[in-house]
Chains A and B, each alone.
Chain A
Amino acid sequence: MQNPHPGLPEIEYIKPASLEEASKFLAAHAGEARPFLGGTDTFVRLRDGAWKDKYLVDVKGLDGTAQVSFDPEKGLTIGAGVAMNRVEAMPEVREHYPLLAEAIRTVASYQLRNRATIVGNICNASPAGDTIGACMLYGGVLKVFGADGVREEPLDTFFKGPGKTNLKPGDIALSLTLPLPPRGHVGRYIKVARNKLGDLAIVGVSVLAYPDATLASGYRFLIALASVAPVPLRVPAAEKVLAEKTIDEATIAEAAQIAMDSCSPIDDVRGSAQYRKLMVRNMTRRALTEVWQKLTQAA
């Protein structure tokens, strides 16, 4: 094995003074420049040669990317450059977005989370991204600066494949907004990895649920799966069953089975496809049961 060297390949560090300048540079150097946030994925990819960019364009600190704020009406807005630990430590996040806080705590190690960012996790678009499920279920919308100005990208339609998103050369993700979750919401993120702390997910299951009197079951359940499809996966068919049938052990088992049947995992160094499928069923059942118990306790 090659001796690991701390150095990165030759690369230019660019710190633009404005978003316009950053966007123009990125567009003019498509394929050889990328926006740079925490670097926790970027450095690994550059060192192992998977990415061969010539320029890192540091967008941390440009126009609001360094801020995180909570508004009781608009919800939470997380700047692209804000490190995960800063988000997790906010009392408003622990109170109103506990599923996000829970998911953040499963990412790598404490010191890595001082660099890693939520928006970076999303833009990297790894199907295994731990915080993506929570952000999707909370109805997250990315604000993106591009050649045609600022636009919004809802996360539900943002991911196109492993590492592939709606972002185009010249686009810079500025922030993520999570609207205030409905009253009485309960969340759970269950992750299985090769060890309890610090590893990538073999399977991750996010569940968010809240009372909804307009539905036959009286509750709305949302489910997102990590690491079992080319993109972070929502399971609308399972959500539909949980909206229409009385919530009990049998309905939860049915929804978990649908989740298992909906995913399309691969074999890799962390686990086989078959193992992943079975774990999706078991973990979805577990997460739904735990959330259901909390909802009924609260009622």
Chain B
Amino acid sequence: MGYHRITLTVNGVMELVDVPSNMTLLQMLREKLGLTGTKNGCASGECGACTVMLNGEPVNSCMVLAVECDGADVVTVEGLAKNGQLDPLQEAIIETGGVQCGFCTPGILISSRALLNRKPKPTEFEIREAISGNLCRCTGYNRIVEAVKKVAGTE
């Protein structure tokens, strides 16, 4: 099976990686770059635990080939904090108790951050719609929605 040399930016850092044809973006992040904040849940595009931003838009990284990301800009949960300061969304989800086991949290944070980037004052329906592809089996979503509203200033 063929290998491909790709360059891409991950969390603001330029990376040069050799990836086999069948390697997903998720595998590359976790296994080649050691960014294990992005989780592998269902590996079929349903649970959203592997959500990352690809060129500014959230995608399921289990459903993208690494080789397709040549020249791309990727942001994972590790890239949300800036200069040692958590993203306000991370602060808010801690405050509201929107984290229990934490497995869905990286994906939830990326989906919610992407929503706030494209729509700073979303309605509750828009928040729920934006995270509908991120399954949480602990908190039941209300506290997560509350955290997003807190950052949007729409509580």
- Verify that A and B bind, or say they do not: yes
Task: List residues of chain A with CB under 8 Å of any chain B CB.
Answer: 4-13, 38-40, 43-44, 47, 56, 58, 85, 105, 108-112, 114-115, 197-198
Q: Are A39 and B64 in contact (CB under 8 A)?
A: yes
Q: Are B64 and A111 in contact (CB under 8 A)?
A: no
Q: Are B132 and A198 in contact (CB under 8 A)?
A: yes
Q: Give the residue among B24, B63, B68, B134 with the most A Cβ atoms within 10 A.
A: B63
One of B2, B48, B58 near A114 (C-beta < 8 A): B58
Assess whether B45 is interfacial by the CB under 8 Å rule.
Answer: yes
Asked whether A13 and B57 contact (CB < 8 A) given A109-B48, A111-B133, the answer is no
Residues on A with C-beta less than 8 A from B117 are none
CB distance from A32 to the nearest CB of B (A): 14
Q: Give the contacts of B15-54 with A (CB-CB under 8 A).
A: 21-24, 26-27, 40-46, 48, 50-51, 54
CB distance from B105 to the nearest CB of A (A): 15
B41 to chain A: closest residue by CB: A4
Residues on B with C-beta less than 8 A from A56 are 21, 65
Q: Are A112 and B45 in contact (CB under 8 A)?
A: yes
The complex places the Cα of A44 from the Cα of B42 at a distance, in Å, of: 10
Q: Are A110 and B129 in contact (CB under 8 A)?
A: yes
Residues on B with C-beta less than 8 A from A198 are 46, 132-133
Assess whether B130 is interfacial by the CB under 8 Å rule.
Answer: yes
One of B21, B41, B59, B133 near A12 (C-beta < 8 A): B21
Q: Which DSSP category, helix, strand, loop or mixed, fits chain A's interface?
A: loop
Task: List residues of chain B with CB under 8 Å of any chain A CB.
Answer: 1-2, 4, 21-24, 26-27, 40-46, 48, 50-51, 54, 57-60, 62-65, 67-68, 111, 115, 128-130, 132-134
A15 to chain B: closest residue by CB: B67
One of A38, A40, A109 near B132 (C-beta < 8 A): A109
One of A13, A39, A105 near B21 (C-beta < 8 A): A13
Q: Are B130 and A110 in contact (CB under 8 A)?
A: yes
Q: Are B133 and A108 in contact (CB under 8 A)?
A: yes
**Given A7-B27, A9-B22, A13-B22: 14 more A-B contacts, CB < 8 Å:** A4-B42, A5-B40, A5-B43, A6-B24, A7-B23, A12-B2, A13-B67, A56-B21, A109-B46, A109-B132, A111-B59, A115-B60, A115-B63, A115-B64
Residues on B with C-beta less than 8 A from A38 are 63
Residues on A with C-beta less than 8 A from B23 are 7
Q: Are B42 and A197 in contact (CB under 8 A)?
A: no
Pairs across A and B, CB under 8 Å, 18 listed: A4-B42, A4-B44, A6-B62, A7-B27, A9-B22, A11-B21, A39-B63, A40-B63, A43-B44, A43-B45, A109-B133, A111-B51, A111-B58, A114-B54, A115-B60, A197-B128, A198-B46, A198-B133
Q: Are B45 and A40 in contact (CB under 8 A)?
A: yes
The complex places the Cα of A4 from the Cα of B41 at a distance, in Å, of: 8
Asked whether A7 and B129 contact (CB < 8 A) given A47-B44, A108-B45, A115-B64, the answer is no
The complex places the Cα of A43 from the Cα of B63 at a distance, in Å, of: 7
Residues on B with C-beta less than 8 A from A85 are 57
Q: Give the residue among A85, A114, A198 with the most B Cβ atoms within 10 A.
A: A114
Q: Are B63 and A110 in contact (CB under 8 A)?
A: no
Residues on A with C-beta less than 8 A from B130 are 110
Residues on A with C-beta less than 8 A from B54 are 114
Residues on B with C-beta less than 8 A from A5 are 40, 43
The complex places the Cα of A43 from the Cα of B43 at a distance, in Å, of: 9
Residues on A with C-beta less than 8 A from B133 are 108-112, 198
Residues on B with C-beta less than 8 A from A8 are 22, 24
Residues on A with C-beta less than 8 A from B60 are 111-112, 115
